[in-house]
Amino acid sequence: MINFITRYFSSLWSLITSPFRAVWRAIVRMFPPREFTVMDTPRGNVYTFRQSSFWRFTKFCGKIGLLVWAAWSTYVFVYHRPMLQKRTQQLEETRAAHARHMTDLQTYLAKYNELTRNLNVIDDKILNDQKLTDAQKEELMNRRVKTWGELDFLRTRLTEMFTNEDYAPEYSKLAELSVEYELTRAENEELKKRNGQIVETMQSVADADMQIVDTVSRITTENIEELRKNIKKINGTIAVLGLSEKNLVAKANKYSNPLVGAAFSPLEIERELDPKYQKLADNLELWNGLAKLNHILPLGAPVSRVRITSNFGMRNDPFTGKPKKHRGIDFAGKIGTELMAVAPGRVVSAGERVGYGTTVEIDHGLGFSTLYAHLSQITVSRGDWVRPGTVVGLGGSSGRSTGPHLHYEIRYKGAPFDPTKFVKE
C-alpha cells in the first residue's frame, strides 16, 4: 500500500485530495478563465478584466438554481392554488353551516321554553280551576296533547341535529317550525286514511288470490288426471324398464329441445307461506311434466291403418323355421305405404343396416328411440328434426324380409322392448 502511494502520489494528502482536484480540473475545462478588455475612449485608458473559472462556475450554478426555483414556484402556483381555494371554500361552507346550526339551536331552544311554559299553564288550569266545564276540559286536554306532540317533534329534530352528519338546517323562525308541525300532522292523518285504504285493497287482493289459487289447483288436478290416462296404460312397460311416473316426470321437466320447448323451472315457495302455494307449485310441476311426457314418448302407431302381423317376442324364423326372438312388431302394408313419426325427435340414422335393410332411427329424448326397417325409400336425412305425423319413409321389403311390411321397434337406451302398449294407446 505504501509502495502504491509513493509510486503514484507525492504524499498521503495528495492521495486524499486527488478526487477533488480531478473535479476541479473538469470544471476548469468546462469553464476556462476569460479576459475582457474595455477601452475608455474619452480618456484613452484601456482596462483588462479577468474572470476566473471559479467565478464562471459560481455564476452558472446561480443561474441553474434560479431556473429550478422558478420552475418549482410555477408548479406550486398552478397545482396547489386550486386545492387551496377548494379548502378555503370548504372552510367557508363549514362556517356557514355552523352558523345555521346555531340559529336552529336557538330557535329550537326558544320554542322548547315556550312549549314547556304552555304545558305548565294547561296543567295548572286542569288541576286547579274548579269552574271548568267538560267541553273546556276536553279542549284543554286536546291542547295538551298537541303541545306534547310539538315537544316530541322538537325532540326528534334535536336528535337529528346532534346525530346525523348530513343534517341540513331548515328553520330560522319560530313560525316556520309551527307550520312544519301542522303540515306533518296533516300528512300523518292523510297517511292513516291511505293506510286504511291499502289494508282494504290488500284484503281484496288476498281474496282474489285465494280464488285464483283454488281455480288453478282445480284445473291442474283435472288436467293431471286426464294426462295420466295415457301414462297409466304403459305403467307396466315402463316398470319393466326400471322407470316410474315420478322419475319420468322429473326427467321430462329437465329435458329441452327445439320441438318440445325449454326445461321447466320449479317454483320456489318460502316455507312461511300457506301450504296451499307449495301444493299448487307441485301440481304445476307434475302437470307440466305429464304434458311433456305425452308429447315426448312415442305413443301411437306409425301407420294410418294398424294391422299387426307379428308381435314382439319368440316366434319361428320365417327363413329357418327355428325359434328366434322378434325384437319389434310387424305392420302389414304395401310398398309405398307412408310411415310416420309418432313423436317429435331427431333422425340419428338413415340408411342401410344388415338384416334391417333400409332403416330410419329417431331419437325422442329421455332415452327412447324408434326404428323403422325394411323401407323402400327414406324421406328424411340424418340430423333432421321431425314432428308427429312427419313421413319418414315408405313401406317396402328391403333387407331380410319375406314381403312388404314395416318392422317397428321402440328402444330404451339402445335396447328394444315390447312396444305393444305404446302402439295400442
53 exposed, middle or buried (CB, 10 Å; 0-12, 13-18, 19+)?
middle
**Position 208 confidence tier, pLDDT thresholds 50, 70, 90:** low
Task: Lowest mean pLDDT of 10-24, 241-255, 357-371, name the range.
Answer: 10-24
Q: What nine digits make up the cell of 279? A: 301444493
With the CA atoms of 338, 344, 345 and 347 taken in that order, what torsion angle do they form, in degrees rounded to the nearest 10?
A: 20
Reported as half-sphere exposure (CB side, CA atoms, 13 A), residue 79 has a value of 6
Indicate the domain borders of the chain: 216-296, 308-423
* pLDDT-based confidence at residue 191 (cuts at 50, 70, 90): confident
**Architecture of domain 308-423 in this structure:** Distorted Sandwich (2.70)
Distance in Å from the first CA to the final CA of the chain: 116
Cross-strand bridge partners of residue 410: 370, 417
425 confidence band (pLDDT: 50, 70, 90)? low
- Is pLDDT of 166 > 50? yes
pLDDT per residue as tens digits for the range 41-60: 677 677 777 888 888 888 88
Identity of the amino acid at 416: P
Q: What is the pLDDT of residue 285?
A: 83
With both helix axes pointing from N to C terminus, report the angle between 174-233 and 134-163 in degrees, rounded to the nearest 10. 80
Q: Where does the pLDDT of residue 384 fall: very low under 50, low under 70, confident under 90, or very high at 90 and above? A: very high
Q: How many CB atoms lie within 10 A of CB 419?
A: 24
d(CA 284, CA 76): 73
How high is the pLDDT of residue 129? 77
For the segment 370-389, the average pLDDT, to the nearest whole number, is: 94
Cα–chain center distance at 108: 48
322 falls in which pLDDT band (50, 70, 90)? confident
**CA 394 distance to own-chain centroid:** 52
Higher local confidence (pLDDT), 178 or 263: 263
User: Over the chain, what is the mean pLDDT?
Assistant: 81
- Per residue in 286-296, pLDDT (tens digit) is 888 888 888 88
Percent of the chain beyond pLDDT 70?
A: 84
Q: With bands split at pLDDT 50, 70 and 90, how would you rate the model's confidence at 217? A: low
- Give the phi and the psi of residue 174 in degrees, each rounded to 5: -65, -35
DSSP code, position 409? E
pLDDT tens string 120-138:
888 888 777 777 787 887 8
Percentage of residues of the chain with pLDDT beyond 90: 22
pLDDT at 172: 46
pLDDT at 165 > cutoff 70: no
pLDDT in tens, 65-118: 999 999 888 887 777 777 778 888 888 888 877 777 777 777 777 878 888 888
Q: 225-251: string of b/e by CB count within 10 Å (b at 16+)? A: eebbebbeebeebbeeeebebeebbeb
Helix 53-128 vs helix 134-163: angle between axes, to the nearest 10 degrees? Answer: 160
Q: Which of 422, 351, 362 is nearest to 387 (CA)?
A: 362
Give 274-320 as a DSSP string.
-HHHHHHHHHHHHHHHHHHHHHHS--S-SSSS--EEE-SEEEE-TTT
Other CB atoms closer than 10 Å to residue 370's CB: what's the count? 23
Return the amino acid letter for 144.
R
pLDDT class for 214, splitting at 50, 70, 90?
Answer: low
Three-state secondary-structure class, residue 6: helix
- Name the one residue in this structure whose C-alpha cell is 346532534: 162
Look at phi and psi of residue 106 and say left if phi exceeds 0, alpha if psi is from -120 to 50, else beta.
alpha
For residue 391, what is the enclosing H or E element?
Answer: strand 391-395
Can you give the pLDDT at residue 363?
95
Which position has the higher pLDDT, 199 or 115? 115
